[in-house]
Amino acid sequence: MKTLTVIGGRELSGEVRIHGSKNAALPILFSSLLFSEAVEIANLPAITDVGAALALLSSLGVKVTKTGRDSILLDPSSARPAVCDPAVTGSLRGSLYLLGAAAGRLGELSLPHPGGCNFGARPIDLHLDVLRTMGLAISESERGVSVRGRPRGALFRFPAVSVGATVNAILAAVLAEGRTVLTGAAREPHVLDLIAFLRLAGARISTPSPGTVVIDGVPRLHGITYRVCPDMIEAGTYLLFAMAAGGSVTLRSAAPEQLAPILPLFSGMGARIGVGVDALSVFRKGRLRPVRVETAPYPGFPTDLQPQLTALACLADGESVICDPIFPTRFGYVSELRKAGAKIDAANGRALVAGGAKLTGAEMIAPDLRAGAALTLAALAGEGESTLARYDLIERGYADFCKTLGSLGARVRISDGVA
Ligand code: UD1
């Protein structure tokens, strides 16, 4: 198990190259199962979740060939239903996307339980409801979920916005017979990137209004090369790091328009943000102001930046209120932040952050990916040495994390700790 050591209290300055989006890359990779020809995916982030997705695809007979530094060729011509390794599906929430993709092409799959970040209940009823509405037979057991049959077009209204269930429905619908109309669907940039990718490969998908996706099934998808869109959560995380540590940071290869809905919130806290074509720059002017925010599906404030924002709010002058109705139990990291001096009360999906804390070095344990980033933020802003165990969880979703922080002037190192 790896540990990140941070000696805090240094400003960050310099440039960060934003990698391809984890949340776009995973559904795009799994959708290779739907193809009749090989497909090349570029701008893939070097994160362990991508490695896990590729391992699962290999186990289903997809031939994976590296074609460049961050690109691979996926040849699904020999794909067949097979037993997936429960240790891998258990590490990756995105493995759920195999249900929609496999149903679309292979006609059956038994999937051991999907895992992913452990921040409370993560039901899958909406995934199963929409797939059942498309005519698929689903069975659940203590070992996992099985899907069987050929999807048919259907009308489905999501009672709550779900990124994962929207993706699964799109994957099942692409090769289905007939038209599928989804309403109340997610419209996160990573969902739109999946749609753009599938359309380029010949899928007939339109989004006539926000939250509505219409998919007319096609007989086949043809091979293309596609670059995954930039990672908005990675970009948002580095913006928040720069706001916490001070200094001036520029993000390159970013997609500022993805973050546009939440930039006013950062500016309101005291960030000065410059926006270019594919770049963002940030520096903090003066003290940070407190914030009141509630997570919501896009274009709302993303639940994936909630922990990092809560950590930042510890440094603001005054009390902040941060609510996460999407995942009300996603505050498990607060007890770790308190070790660094944070004054936070969290209950019932709401954190009250006292602000004005003088953060100091602490021995912390990352409970999950984004919470790990939040604890790193506290360590960067705090005085003295912090250690962050379970650094491997951060590697699930941030490529070159330690190296990037080092290049910005942070004093950081990774060591192999005791498991
Ligand atoms: C969610 C986030 C996504 C983030 C990911 C990882 C939203 C809308 N989704 O995606 O941005 O990248 O976590 O942190 O911000 N739900 C059900 N039944 C289901 C599926 C979901 O009740 O079958 C509920 C969830 O409990 C949650 C909400 O719907 O309250 C949104 O969940 P969903 O978008 O499906 O989660 P992820 O796909 O994991």
pLDDT digits (tens, 9 = 90+) for 359-394: 999 999 999 999 999 999 999 999 999 999 999 999
- Protein residue with least CA distance to atom 14, ligand 1: 304
CA of 165 to the centre of ligand 1 (A): 8
Q: Which atom of ligand 1 is nearest to the CA of 126?
A: 23
In order of their start, the domains of the chain are: 2-19+287-416 (3.65.10.10), 22-227 (3.65.10.10)
Query: Distance (Å, rounded) from C-alpha 11 to C-alpha 249?
Result: 10
| Lining residues, ligand 1, CB within 6 Å | 23, 93, 117, 122-127, 160-165, 186, 188, 297, 302-304, 326-327
Q: Retrieve residue 51's tokens.
A: 């490695």
Mutate to test the pocket of ligand 1, among 30, 96, 140, 163 (most ligand atoms within 8 A of CB): 163
Of 395, 40, 22, 41, nearest in space to 189 by CA: 22
Where does residue 73 rank: exposed (0-12), middle (13-18), buried (19+ CB within 10 A)? Answer: middle
- Using one digit for the tens of pLDDT, what is the confidence trace for 170-208? 999 999 999 999 999 999 999 999 999 999 999 999 999
Chain centroid to CA 20: 11
Half-sphere exposure of 148 (CA within 13 A, CB side): 6
Total number of residues shown for the chain: 419
pLDDT of 291 strictly over 80 = yes
CA of 163 to the centre of ligand 1 (A): 6
Mean pLDDT for the chain?
95
Lowest-pLDDT range of 38-52, 99-113, 209-223, 377-391: 99-113
* Angle subtended by helix axes 22-30 and 97-105, to nearest 10: 30
Query: Distance (Å, rounded) from C-alpha 254 to C-alpha 267?
Result: 18
Q: Confirm if 127 and 96 have CB atoms less than 8 A apart.
A: yes
Q: What is the pLDDT of residue 211?
A: 97
Question: Cα angle at 53 between 48 and 59, to 5 degrees?
Answer: 125
Confidence of residue 164 (pLDDT cuts 50, 70, 90): very high
Query: Distance (Å, rounded) from C-alpha 81 to C-alpha 63?
Result: 14
Mutate to test the pocket of ligand 1, among 96, 140, 326, 393 (most ligand atoms within 8 A of CB): 326
Confidence of residue 419 (pLDDT cuts 50, 70, 90): very low
CA of 188 to the centre of ligand 1 (A): 11
Q: Residue 50 is inside which H or E element, if any? A: helix 48-59
CA of 371 to the centre of ligand 1 (A): 16
Of 373, 358, 273, nearest in space to 317 by CA: 358
CA of 131 to the centre of ligand 1 (A): 16
Mutate to test the pocket of ligand 1, among 96, 99, 162 (most ligand atoms within 8 A of CB): 162
CA of 282 to the centre of ligand 1 (A): 29
**Letter for the amino acid at 337?**
L
- Using one digit for the tens of pLDDT, what is the confidence trace for 8-38? 999 999 999 999 999 999 999 999 999 989 9
pLDDT of 418 strictly over 70 = no
Catalytic center residues: 117
Q: How far apart are the two ends of the chain, measured CA to CA in Å?
A: 5
Q: Retrieve residue 131's tokens.
A: 């797939």
Confidence of residue 142 (pLDDT cuts 50, 70, 90): confident
* Residues of the chain above pLDDT 70, percent: 99
Half-sphere exposure of 27 (CA within 13 A, CB side): 26
Query: Distance (Å, rounded) from C-alpha 299 to C-alpha 287?
Result: 27
Q: Retrieve residue 91's tokens.
A: 């590490």
- Protein residue with least CA distance to atom 10, ligand 1: 163
Q: Which atom of ligand 1 is nearest to the CA of 325?
A: 30
Mutate to test the pocket of ligand 1, among 92, 99, 122, 192 (most ligand atoms within 8 A of CB): 122
Chain centroid to CA 352: 25
- Protein residue with least CA distance to atom 9, ligand 1: 163
DSSP secondary structure letter of residue 212: E
Q: Which atom of ligand 1 is nearest to the CA of 121?
A: 26
Query: Distance (Å, rounded) from C-alpha 207 to C-alpha 219?
Result: 20
Q: Retrieve residue 330's tokens.
A: 């996603």
Per the model's pLDDT, the better-predicted residue between 419 and 108 turns out to be 108
Q: Is 54 helix (H, G, I), strand (E, B) or coil?
A: helix
**Letter for the amino acid at 122?**
R
**Letter for the amino acid at 379?**
A
pLDDT of 119 strictly over 80 = no
- Protein residue with least CA distance to atom 7, ligand 1: 297
Per the model's pLDDT, the better-predicted residue between 210 and 91 turns out to be 210
The torsion of the CA quartet 70, 75, 79, 85, rounded to 10 degrees, works out to: -20
Question: Cα angle at 391 between 390 and 397, to 5 degrees?
Answer: 115
Q: Confirm if 258 and 189 have CB atoms less than 8 A apart.
A: yes
- Protein residue with least CA distance to atom 35, ligand 1: 162
* Order of strands across the sheet that contains 350-353: 292-294, 320-323, 350-353, 344-347
Q: Which atom of ligand 1 is nearest to the CA of 127?
A: 23
Query: Distance (Å, rounded) from C-alpha 99 to C-alpha 165?
Result: 10
Cis peptide preceding 27, ω within 30 of 0:
no
Confidence of residue 227 (pLDDT cuts 50, 70, 90): very high
Contacts of 165 (CB under 8 A, 6+ apart): 124, 126, 127, 129, 130, 158
CA of 331 to the centre of ligand 1 (A): 16
DSSP secondary structure letter of residue 94: G
* Residues of the chain above pLDDT 90, percent: 88
Chain centroid to CA 417: 26
Average pLDDT over residues 117-133: 87
Confidence of residue 107 (pLDDT cuts 50, 70, 90): confident
pTM: 0.97
Report how far apart, in Å, the C-alpha atoms of 152 and of each of 160, 176, 217 are: 22, 5, 9
Q: Retrieve residue 189's tokens.
A: 């940039």
